[in-house]
Structure 1
Amino acid sequence: MSLVEKIKVLCKEQKISIAELERKTGISNGQIRKWDVSTPGTDKVAIVADYFDVSVDYLLGRTDKKRYYDLTEKDERDIQEELQKMIEGLSTSGHAAFDGRTLDELTEEELEDRELLLSSLENSLRLAKRVAKQKFTPKKYR
């Protein structure tokens, strides 16, 4: 997918036109459409990337990750492993017991609460991983 096509997709997601993007970013009228046949300046590409909160590498087609802090497959595996460790710890330690019962001995209503707890833990792990990537990734790798 070309640079202009990616920008069109991002504009469609944001429900704005390319002309509106050009106005909001200060890029001259009709300039973005010309990027199919001419090479834009890095400063202009960076302005568009900043507007959409995506990486320049994503716009240029060097990566499929929109943001440097998006989770990779390895991150997802790590999250699932950590979640599994948490589940095992909660099941065996009795710390997450309901009236003296472990998570495995719950009623149907309590099972729903268990699923909500597990979903919450998984989302918390994802958020923590993302925040850590944003905070601790050196600028030269962004």
Structure 2
Amino acid sequence: MSLVKKIKTLCDEKKVTFAEVERKIGISNGQIRRWDNVSPKSETLNKVADYFDVSTDYLLGRSDKKRYYDLTEKDEKDIQIKLEEMINGLNSKDGYAAFDGQILDDMDEEDKELLISALENSLKVAKRVAKQKFTPKKYR
């Protein structure tokens, strides 16, 4: 997908026009459309990437990840491993439970699903926030 098409897709997602983006980032009217034939300056490309909160690599087609802090397959696998550990900890008498008993075995199926889903979402949010907060600038 070309740079202009990617920006058009991002504009559609955000419900803005090229003209609005150009005004917001301070470039001349019609500049984005010209990028089909002429390469943009790196500063201008960075402004567009910042506006849409995506990486320049994504805009240029070098990466499918929109943001540097998006979760990778490895992150997803790590989360599933940690989730499994947490579930096992809830089921054991020596685990996370502060009282004698097995938490998940005493719950009905719907409550189990809700708890597991909440734990998984919490782990994903925590991973994303950690990547945003602790990724060095040179790797963003």
TM-score, normalised to structure 1, is 0.90
Tell me the alpha carbon deviations over residues 83-110 of structure 1, each in whole angstroms, 9 at most, x when there is no partner. 011111111137187x95531243xxx3
Deviation at 1:9, TM superposition (A): 0.2
| Contact 1:79 1:126 survives alignment (8 Å) | yes
The sequence identity of aligned pairs, in percent, is 68
Deviation at 1:44, TM superposition (A): 0.5
| Contact 2:54 2:67 survives alignment (8 Å) | yes
Separation in 1, partners of 2:102, 2:71: 35
The residue type equivalent to 1:44 in the other structure is: T
The residue type equivalent to 1:80 in the other structure is: Q
> What residue in structure 2 maps to residue 90 of structure 1?
90
Separation in 2, partners of 1:73, 1:48: 27
Q: Stretches of 4+ moved more than 3 A in 1? A: 99-102
> What residue in structure 1 maps to residue 137 of structure 2?
139
Separation in 2, partners of 1:3, 1:21: 14
Tell me the alpha carbon deviations over residues 29-77 of structure 1, each in whole angstroms, 9 at most, x when there is no partner. 0000000000100010000000000011110111000000100000000
Separation in 1, partners of 2:120, 2:43: 38
Deviation at 1:21, TM superposition (A): 1.0
Separation in 1, partners of 2:7, 2:115: 39
> What residue in structure 2 maps to residue 102 of structure 1?
103
Indicate how the Cα distance of structure 1 residues 91 and 41 shifts in structure 2: closer, same or farther if over 3 A, else same: same
Could you tell which deviates more after superposition, 22-31 or 70-79? 22-31
The residue type equivalent to 2:120 in the other structure is: E
TM-score, normalised to structure 2, is 0.92
Deviation at 1:17, TM superposition (A): 0.9
| Contact 1:25 1:48 survives alignment (8 Å) | yes
1:73 aligned to 2:103?
no
> What residue in structure 2 maps to residue 64 of structure 1?
64
| Contact 2:92 2:102 survives alignment (8 Å) | no
| Contact 1:19 1:29 survives alignment (8 Å) | yes
* 1:71 counterpart SS class: coil
Unpaired stretches in structure 1, ≥5 consecutive residues: none
